[in-house]
Structure 1
Amino acid sequence: MLVRDIFLKAKSAVEFMYDKTAEIRRYEEYQKLNGADGMDWVTKHQGVPCRLSTVGMQTFNNTVQDEVNAIQYYVKLFMSSEFDVRAGDEFIVDGVKYESAKEPFVYVTHQEVLLIRKGYA
Structure 2
Amino acid sequence: MDIRKLMSKAKAAAEFMYNKTATIKRSEEYTKMNGANGMDWVVKYTNVPCRLSSTGMQSVNNTSQGEANVIQYDLKMFLSSEYELKAGDSVIVDGVEFESAKEPFVYISHQEVLMKRKGYA
* TM tier relative to shorter chain: over 0.9
Question: 1:5-52, CA deviations, whole angstroms, 9 ceiling, x for partnerless residues?
Answer: 001011011101100000000011001122211100001111100000
Gaps of 5+ in 1: none
Q: Cα deviations across residues 57-115 of structure 1 (Å, max 9, x unaligned)?
A: 11210010112110000010000000000000000011110011111000110000000
Instruction: List aligned pairs for 1:28-67, cutoff 5 A.
Output: 28-67=28-67
> SS in structure 1 opposite 2:41?
strand
Cα distance in structure 2, aligned partners of 1:79 and 1:60: 25
Distance 1:81 1:35 in 2: 37
- For residues 91 and 109 of structure 2, what CA distance do their matches in structure 1 show? 20
2:72 maps to: 72
| Separation in structure 1 between the aligned mates of residue 103 and residue 62 of structure 2, nearest angstrom | 23
TM-score, length-scaled by structure 2 = 0.97
The 3-state SS of whatever aligns with 1:46 is strand
Normalised by the length of structure 1, the TM-score is: 0.97
What is the root-mean-square deviation in Å for CA atoms of aligned residues? 0.7
Name the SS for the 1:14 alignment partner: helix
Aligned residue pair count: 121
Q: Aligned equivalents of 1:44 and 1:109: distance in 2?
A: 21
